[in-house]
Amino acid sequence: MTATVTRTGRARRLGKSARRAWLVTHIVSSGAWIGLDVVLAVLIFTAMFTSDTAVAAISYQALQLFTVWPLLIIGLVCLASGIVLGVGSKYGLLRYWWVAVKLGLNIVLTVLGVVALRPGVDDAAVYGRALAAGLTPAPVPDLIFPPIVSPVCLLIAVLLSVYKPWGRTAKGRA
């Protein structure tokens, strides 16, 4: 299912069915990533704006289930499928700037999910458990940026894929 290297050192393109399989994997993983970001936003904004302490406590605790590890896994699947599609295309992985931008966004968001989001989510879960126990916890963790930044970056990647800022493809010109 992947591109192979010929004796001349040039990569062969993916076959039609292999390309379709990798493309479906890439599209589904991208959609799942956006979905996880929506869940993250719903949980954070619900916890921030509800007046019900029990709802806020559950929302903060649920962040641990729906964020860091699922986002890491889906980010890596999206990254791997994007690299395979890039390497297996006739253009190569980094021939155009928009591919480098999408690859960079994917890597940055995946790393940030583990490095920057995880400590905040862990703090939010501790905060949620304290709320549920009826204690007065430390100040609420600041989690306003992840549900805004990640979807915006993913939207940029989708727009680069759909609107093709480099012009129409050869198939589209025909």
Q: How far apart are CA 168 and CA 174, in angstroms?
A: 10
Q: End-to-end CA distance of the chain, in Å? A: 28
The DSSP bridge partners found for residue 11 are 5
Q: How far apart are CA 155 and CA 170, in angstroms?
A: 25
**What pLDDT score was predicted for residue 172?**
55
Return the amino acid letter for 113: G
**What pLDDT score was predicted for residue 7?**
53
Residue 120 has pLDDT above 70, yes or no: yes
Tell me the mean pLDDT in the region 129-143: 85
Three-class SS state of 2: coil
**What pLDDT score was predicted for residue 166?**
65
- pLDDT, tens digit (0-9, with 9 covering 90-100), for 54-110: 999 999 999 998 889 999 999 999 999 999 988 887 766 777 777 888 899 999 999
Q: How far apart are CA 102 and CA 84, in angstroms?
A: 14
- Residue 171 vs residue 70, higher pLDDT: 70
CA atoms within 13 A on the CB side of 138: 7
Q: How far apart are CA 125 and CA 64, in angstroms?
A: 7
- pLDDT, tens digit (0-9, with 9 covering 90-100), for 10-68: 556 888 899 999 999 999 999 999 999 999 999 999 999 999 999 999 999 999 988 89
Tally the residues of the chain. 174
Q: How far apart are CA 131 and CA 102, in angstroms?
A: 39
**DSSP for 137-162?**
PSPPP--SSHHHHHHHHHHHHHHHHH
